Amino acid sequence: MKIEMNTQNKTLKEGYDEYLKYCTVRDCAESTLINYRTTIKQFNKFYPESNLINTVNKNKIENYICYLRENTSMSNVSISIWLQRLKALFNYFHNNGYMDKIAFPVIRCEKKVKEVYTDDELKILLEKPKLSLCNFTEYRNWVMINYLLSTGNRRNTLINIKISDIDFDEAVIKLSTTKNKKQQFIPLSATLSKILKDYLKHRGGKPDDYLFCDACGGKLNTDNLRISLTRYHKRRGVEKTSIHLYRHTFAKKWILAGGDIFRLQKILGHSSLDVVKEYVEMFTNDLQKDFDKFNALEQIQRKGEKIKL
């Protein structure tokens, strides 16, 4: 069905405000709104928001890509991500009849191997602090790292876990705050179960309290979490400090241990297998390790069994 152009000439500023309101009504995550605001702010440097929406066309977008390459240090991956957000924005304008549809160019990107924590780094990070010598924050950070490595949860999911979400009897964790906004249940490992039981003896709290709280018992925010874990890593001599790397590490170790990708998809909360397939492709070199040791043909040959013609 052809959409008729709206005769009202809206400015980009008016369109931006309308789109952000639309995202708010749809209950988009705050991080998503921040990303759109940042994208809009960057585009405004190239094309002021006082211009009319219907003056934006394919040529303008192509010039904007050149502008980004000449005036910023963005990689092709970053440019591609920013264009995806702009595409969603301008598709909204098109669907409401404010402009013609724009065919966005595809930016070719080489996918990098996702960084993970090494076994040596994990050994350092997972060394339990002496409770008699450390404060609550140090101990809580150690428990959180065990939790992240055991579950592969995202940061926002982590800070919203409540004590009542941990079901020790059924050995499951309820995730109420997820990226796709769907409630999810994941397994609780035996080791993590023991660690959390010990932690709750020190943490205390009511069922409706947040599992990982700040030093005053309140809810952790993302900035405090990032700063706290960064300090924890630095004190132990580990330069990598990304919380999301625990998710990559979880996925890599799952795959290398022979775990099936369908269960991995469910645990990580991905709506499709696409991202999980990326993990498999990126860790291909690691899959070659000890290949002869587990290969069926090599096992037969080691036993001295001859293959008869």
Using one digit for the tens of pLDDT, what is the confidence trace for 291-307? 666 666 666 666 665 55
**DSSP conformation class of 112:** P
* The predicted structure's pLDDT at residue 1: 43
The pTM of this model reads 0.68
Q: Are 178 and 269 in contact (CB under 8 A)?
A: yes
Q: Are 242 and 117 in contact (CB under 8 A)?
A: no
* The predicted structure's pLDDT at residue 3: 47
**First and final CA of the chain: distance in angstroms?**
66
Q: Are 213 and 141 in contact (CB under 8 A)?
A: no
* The predicted structure's pLDDT at residue 109: 65
The distance between the two most distant Cα atoms of the chain, rounded to a whole number of Å, is: 82
Report the amino acid identity of residue 84. Q
Q: Are 243 and 226 in contact (CB under 8 A)?
A: yes
Sequence-distant contacts of 35-40: CB under 8 A, at least 24 apart: 35/85, 36/85, 36/89, 39/82, 39/85, 39/86, 39/89, 40/16, 40/89
* The predicted structure's pLDDT at residue 293: 65
CA–CA distance, 20 with 141 (Å, rounded to integer): 35
CA–CA distance, 265 with 151 (Å, rounded to integer): 12
* The predicted structure's pLDDT at residue 15: 94
Strand ranges in the chain using DSSP code E only, listed in sequence order: 166-167, 172-175, 184-187
Judged by phi (left if over 0) then psi (alpha if -120 to 50, else beta), residue 145 lies in: alpha
CA–CA distance, 283 with 272 (Å, rounded to integer): 19
Walk me through the domains of the chain, giving residue ranges and CATH numbers. 12-95 (1.10.150), 119-287 (1.10.443.10)
Alpha helix ranges (H) inside 26-107: 30-46, 58-71, 76-95
CA distances in angstroms from 308 to 176, 302, 304, 305, listed in the order given: 58, 16, 12, 9
**Average pLDDT, 10 consecutive residues per value, the chain (309 residues):** 56 94 87 89 93 94 92 85 92 94 82 78 95 93 96 92 96 86 89 96 94 90 92 95 91 85 85 75 66 64 57
Residue in the structure block whose two tokens are 């309101």: 21
Report the amino acid identity of residue 280. V
* The predicted structure's pLDDT at residue 7: 45
